[in-house]
Amino acid sequence: MIPVERLAIEQGKPVRSKPWNFHFHGPDEIGELEKEYVLKALDSRKMFRFMNKREESFTAQLEQFYKNRLGVSYALAVNGGTSSLICALAAAGIGPGDEVIVPAYTFIATAAAVVAVRAVPVIVECDDTLNMDPAAFEAAITPYTKAVIPVHMRGVMAQMNEITAIAKQHGLTVIEDVAQANGGSYFGRALGSIGDFGCFSFQHYKVITAGEGGMVVTNSHEGYIRAGHQHDCAFQFWGGDERVDTIPGENYRMSEINGALGLAQAQKLDTILGRLRQNKQRIADGLAPIPGLALQRVVDPAGDCGVSIVFYLPDSRAAGTFSKALQAEGIPNGTVDNGGVADRHIYRNWDYILNKRMASPNGTPWNCAEYKGSVSYDPDMCPVTLNYLRRAISIGLHQRMSQEDCDDVIHAIRKVAAVIIG
């Protein structure tokens, strides 16, 4: 029988004493290629993408990269992930009087984008994938529902077969939020290419970064042109299709500097993901099986981006105890929801959504004349999601982790589990 090791939190020797020097995925790979492209953009003195020919524009080349990678007909670079969602919603004709279903666990930007086009977000439960529960989505559909936004959280894909089948049955637009799963796939299909629109983010925290930036992809010509109008109030002037009526939009254009950085980073996407996936697989293999500890369900492990590993404890008290003990062993981690920092990825911390608050109290999505439905919010309205989040422990993974680093994670989790779970 293998003796149980004394935990570091109880004056035992920690598994790991060397520092955990891993930070961000894309930014940590910035090197000579990024410098070359950005300096070339600066030397051109043409920061506005439409001043350049398409073959000379870094932003246009980044769009082409995503068209090729995803196998889609159209790609539109914008200045952020939230902007990409707004453009997709506007392109789909979503507006006052409409409801859009979103998961209870996603960054607040998903719901904020819905409100930005003056539609009503409807919040539904997530399941053990930590993504939208298809059954909860179907149960929330009303005569006012016009779209659904499945989010691929923490690099793990939503259950798109079920979600798209339900959406098709009810005639709903599917807008994939791929902000946290750039490069992921679902049974061989690239995330973002499955729904009617796919929306990406290149913000600092994402797999690759453009500093700030985003991308809208679609196979709809009209959808692409309408998204273009939304991202540039003079888009028609720069080459829009006159057969598609113009709509007033905001200016969400991507600059050539962001395009240059994004294009350089895009060429490193597969290398980053390959290492992340190897590391996650090694850790997952090393943790199976541990009685009382359940890994997050991933419906297609091959398509997982591998940016984090999440596992569940039997209850929130055990999760809190386990997390502190694991931290003492030298492995940074956190419970996903512990009632501490108001994590804006959790719906109960979406203060302005729950309070139906806009810049002006008049004509909001919830009280405008066009809206005939009735949606109410409550901090406890999604107990299943909260239960999973309170029992979940997450460890962020990095492409530069060595096999030794991964083995430290395995050793520490097994060591803590032997004492706390038994």
Q: Is 271 buried (19+), middle (13-18) or exposed (0-12) by CB count in 10 A?
A: exposed
Determine contact, residues 162/134, Cβ cutoff 8 Å.
yes
End-to-end Cα separation, the chain, in angstroms: 14
For 277-295, letters b (16+ CB in 10 Å) and e give bebbbbbbeebeeeeebbb
Bridge partners, residue 81, by sequence? none
Instruction: Tell me which of 40, 168, 206, 372 is the catalytic residue.
Output: 206
Please compute, for residue 152, the number of CA atoms within 13 A of its CA located in the half-sphere on the CB side: 36
Q: Annotated catalytic, 206? A: yes
**Dist CA 171 CA 149 (whole Å):** 14
Residue type, 79: N
**Dist CA 234 CA 328 (whole Å):** 56
Bridge partners, residue 186, by sequence? 189
Bridge partners, residue 199, by sequence? 177, 216
Please compute, for residue 232, the number of CA atoms within 13 A of its CA located in the half-sphere on the CB side: 20
Q: Which residues are catalytic?
A: 206
